[in-house]
Amino acid sequence: MRTDGQRTEARGRPDGIIRLAPCALLAVIAALLLLSPAASAYHAKRACGEPPPGRAACLAMRVLLGGTGASAQATRGAGATRGNERTKPYPGFLTPELLHDAYQIPNETAEAASQTIAVVDAYDDPTAEADLAVYDQQFGLPACTTANGCFKKVNQNGQAGPLPKVEGGWASEISIDVQMAHAICQSCKVLLVEAKTEEFSDLGAGVLAAAELGATEISNSYGGTEEPGDVSLANAYYNHPGIVVAASSGDCGYLNSACIHNPFGANFPADSPNVLSVGGTALSESAGAWTSTAWVEGGSGCSEVFSAPLWQSATAGFPATGCGSSRAIADVAAIGDPNTGVDIYDSTPEEPGAPTGWGVWGGTSVASPILAAEFALAGGAGGVAYPAATLYGHAGEAANLYDVTGGSTGACEGHTICTATAGFDGPTGVGSPIGLGAFALSGAPESTSPPTISGYAEEADTLTAVHGGWTGAPTGYAYQWERCGFSGGGCRTVPGATAQSYTIPQGDAGYTIRVRETARNGNGPNSAASGAVGPVASDVPQVTAVTPLAAITGAHVLAEGAALDQATSVTVAGLPASFVVVSPAKLDVTVPSGAFKGKIVIATPHGVAISKQKFAATLTIRSFSPTAGVAGTRVTIKGVGFGPSSKVSFAGTPATVTSASAKKLKVIVPAGAASGQITVTNTAAPAGTISSAIPFTP
């Protein structure tokens, strides 16, 4: 390993990269920091110091949001602290919901339940499980505990004890790793392996233990500058074909140049071709759209110890890195910039007197467990010996990988090993996975048309996912419903909403709803999202219009509004009316016999809606007298809309009209009349036939 003094040596390579002297590199890094709005927003503190030779540092960075004054108090949030403990998450940073929205991934898949994500760290975090419980409760995640079999903690030998001593910086790292793994894959098991020291031999033993205990993904959020002896370490500890082994690329920029006391070079174990090297990005959202840029302090560089694996060196864009035949870091990237960081709960202080509770964290230590957990959602390595190759197989697929094209980690004289650009580059590799398509093997289902949604977007109504088009003959499907903004952007997963149908709860009014369908076959899963439906209407009924407002009784009128499809009763002018649901916004109402003038009232289990305007019958029988009599009896019929053209029948038998006015008819009960309704028929306006509300009895 090189010492600090050796960093000033002239360093030339046949690959043509010109590396600046340390002072010049630091000047460039400082300039980049000053030019980056995100980077200058807050001050971040590294949880672990720079490691001595043969040892690793954790790659966690905590944002310091303290200070004094009104602005600091506003940032901290009133009532959010108790002594030295932060009791509420800081607003405006990344939650599990936001991470799932940004990367367009489901909370659960059918494959995830069989996956175990191991996180390997040094020293003991005595509150790891309790802190995860606080995190889960805050964000509504399913519990992950020792009792329910989801969480397990062991030492580097894979045993429950003895556990190593406590070290506060690494305890923070453990909180990040455990909580990120569970945030991304909420039905995966989480295995915490604690090495007794940060020596690579101990951490490597922890990786071996994780593999022996059945971990399907192993995340390593630590690193140290590479040296020739790392080849034997990589082969002894980090070579596990068929298991996803992820490692953070580093938090000191291009070749560790941003950390003035670090030796100059790429980081181990991220430089090993046996592992998935995970770089860092700055992640931001605007109007529902997410964008990523390379994080200025994310690790990148050409290894001087390891050669590039074939799947990397054969990737379009690799020659532009300037690495020649050497391994390039990184393979892929996710959120690392602490200024756009994640909410984490940690109750073990980093040092005596340090704040505890909720904090904002970043570093590529965040990115590594995210990628490991995304692989777990997709079912793991899928039989591929070194699953980084699977991601490279999807390079350039815009539907599956977000191509990070902005940002830099340092200066490398025009090469892309330190500058994000279209296609493959050093800081972000093939990009950031979107959905699960980048983890799918050849032959896995591919979407040819997105799923659709049937049903009405209204509270208490049920929506159903209709399969999209898929290649690869899917053998099964899984679903994740998402709540989106009014215009369909800014979607957030709905916890627990993983059935094919979704009954919209109260409180979703104004949102739109979409579903993410995951199709799978023997080669793995893939997912696609539907378009958004809505906005969701409230289940509290409303009547906004009645058309027409005047008609004869027995006619059909249309009541329009919202949440009308659960109507249990309708009255017109106080009389019960029959109706047919046309849609949640429309009812077809039959004006009841005997109705005259009044409002339409619609009752549902969630309330009562009343029309603002009154309906008026243009032709109706309001009453008649007497209500019974023999043939020849004179009967007076009162109502509206009568005239000279009015004809009257008793249960279908025509009667003689002796007198007619607009509001009164006088008739004689005909011989042979049966019991039944009296009807009045107009051939002139208002034309039509109406009936009495009650029968006449002969």
Q: Do 256 and 199 belong to one domain?
A: yes
Q: Do 262 and 338 belong to one domain?
A: yes
Of the chain, the percentage scoring pLDDT greater than 70 comes to: 92
Q: Are 130 and 192 in contact (CB under 8 A)?
A: no
Range(s) of the domain holding residue 582: 542-617
- Site of tokens 């049937």: 454
Report the CATH number at residue 570: 2.60.40.10
Query: In angstroms, rounded to a whole number, what is the distance separating the alpha carbons of residues 33 and 409?
Result: 10
pLDDT in tens, 279-320: 999 999 988 899 999 999 999 999 999 999 999 999 999 999
Min mean pLDDT across 155-159, 339-343, 481-485, 500-504 is at: 481-485
Task: Tell how strand 664-668 and strand 550-551 pair up.
Answer: unpaired
Task: Tell how strand 615-617 and strand 550-551 pair up.
Answer: parallel
Q: Does 182 score more than 70 pLDDT?
A: yes
Q: Are 356 and 348 in contact (CB under 8 A)?
A: yes
Domain boundary among 502, 529, 556: 529
- Cis, peptide link before residue 563, omega less than 30° from 0: no
The band of 405, judged by pLDDT with boundaries at 50, 70 and 90, is very high
In a domain, residue 632? The reply is yes
Q: Do 127 and 241 belong to one domain?
A: yes
Min mean pLDDT across 10-19, 43-52, 325-334, 536-545 is at: 10-19
Report residue 657 as tokens.
């009209």
Mean pLDDT over the full length of the chain: 90
In a domain, residue 240? The reply is yes
The residue length of the chain stands at: 698
Q: Do 413 and 492 belong to one domain?
A: no
In a domain, residue 319? The reply is yes
Q: Does 4 score more than 60 pLDDT?
A: no
> Which residue, among 545, 573, 562, has the nearest Cα to 606 in the 3D structure?
562
Helix/strand/coil (H/E/C) assignment for every residue in 503-520: ECCCCCCCCEEEEEEEEE
Q: Do 319 and 425 belong to one domain?
A: yes
Domain count, the chain: 4
What mean pLDDT do residues 12-17 have?
A: 33
pLDDT in tens, 622-660: 999 999 999 999 999 999 999 999 999 999 999 999 999
Query: In angstroms, rounded to a whole number, what is the distance separating the alpha carbons of residues 419 and 398?
Result: 20
Min mean pLDDT across 79-88, 140-149, 175-184 is at: 79-88
Q: Do 310 and 346 belong to one domain?
A: yes
pLDDT in tens, 531-570: 999 999 888 898 999 999 999 999 999 999 988 988 999 9
Helix/strand/coil (H/E/C) assignment for every residue in 436-466: CHHHCCCCCCCEEECCEEECCCECCCEEEEE
In a domain, residue 72? The reply is no
Q: Determine the distance from the C-alpha atom of residue 630 to the mean position of all C-alpha atoms in its chain, rounded to a whole number.
A: 76
For 114, the 3-state DSSP assignment is helix
Q: Do 569 and 639 belong to one domain?
A: no
Report residue 531 as tokens.
């378009």
Query: In angstroms, rounded to a whole number, what is the distance separating the alpha carbons of residues 7 and 264?
Result: 6
In a domain, residue 73? The reply is no
Domain boundary among 598, 617, 636: 617
| Res 462: pLDDT | 94
Min mean pLDDT across 20-34, 238-252, 322-336, 618-632 is at: 20-34
| CB count in 10 Å sphere of residue 269 | 28
Q: Do 566 and 655 belong to one domain?
A: no
Q: Does 507 score more than 90 pLDDT?
A: no
Report the CATH number at residue 229: 3.40.50.200
Between these two residues, 355 and 144, which has the higher pLDDT value? 144
Q: Do 479 and 553 belong to one domain?
A: no
| Res 406: pLDDT | 97
In a domain, residue 305? The reply is yes
> Which residue, among 231, 207, 420, 230, has the nearest Cα to 332 in the 3D structure?
420
In a domain, residue 246? The reply is yes
Q: Do 25 and 46 belong to one domain?
A: yes
Run of H or E residues at 219 = strand 217-220
Query: In angstroms, rounded to a whole number, what is the distance separating the alpha carbons of residues 617 and 549?
Result: 8
Give Cβ neighbours of residue 543 (< 8 Å, ≥ 6 apart). 559, 560, 561, 564, 600, 602, 609, 610, 611, 612
pTM of the model: 0.74
In a domain, residue 243? The reply is yes
Q: Does 36 score more than 50 pLDDT?
A: no
The band of 41, judged by pLDDT with boundaries at 50, 70 and 90, is low
Helix/strand/coil (H/E/C) assignment for every residue in 342-401: EEEEECCCCCCCCCEEEEEEECHHHHHHHHHHHHHHCCCCCCCCCCHHHHHCCCCCCCCE
CA atoms within 13 A of residue 364's CA, in its CB half-sphere: 36
pLDDT in tens, 408-463: 999 998 899 999 999 999 999 999 999 999 999 888 898 899 999 999 998 888 99
Residue 161 DSSP code: -
Q: Does 361 score more than 60 pLDDT?
A: yes
Q: Do 195 and 270 belong to one domain?
A: yes
Report the CATH number at residue 524: 2.60.40.2700
The band of 77, judged by pLDDT with boundaries at 50, 70 and 90, is low
Cα maximum dimension of the chain = 126
Query: In angstroms, rounded to a whole number, what is the distance separating the alpha carbons of residues 458 and 606?
Result: 12
Q: Do 352 and 476 belong to one domain?
A: no
| Res 525: pLDDT | 82
Task: Tell how strand 276-286 and strand 267-268 pair up.
Answer: unpaired
Q: In terms of C-beta density within 10 A (0-12 exposed, 13-18 middle, 19 or more buried), how is residue 568 classed?
A: exposed
Query: In angstroms, rounded to a whole number, what is the distance separating the alpha carbons of residues 23 and 30?
Result: 10
Domain boundary among 617, 650, 669: 617
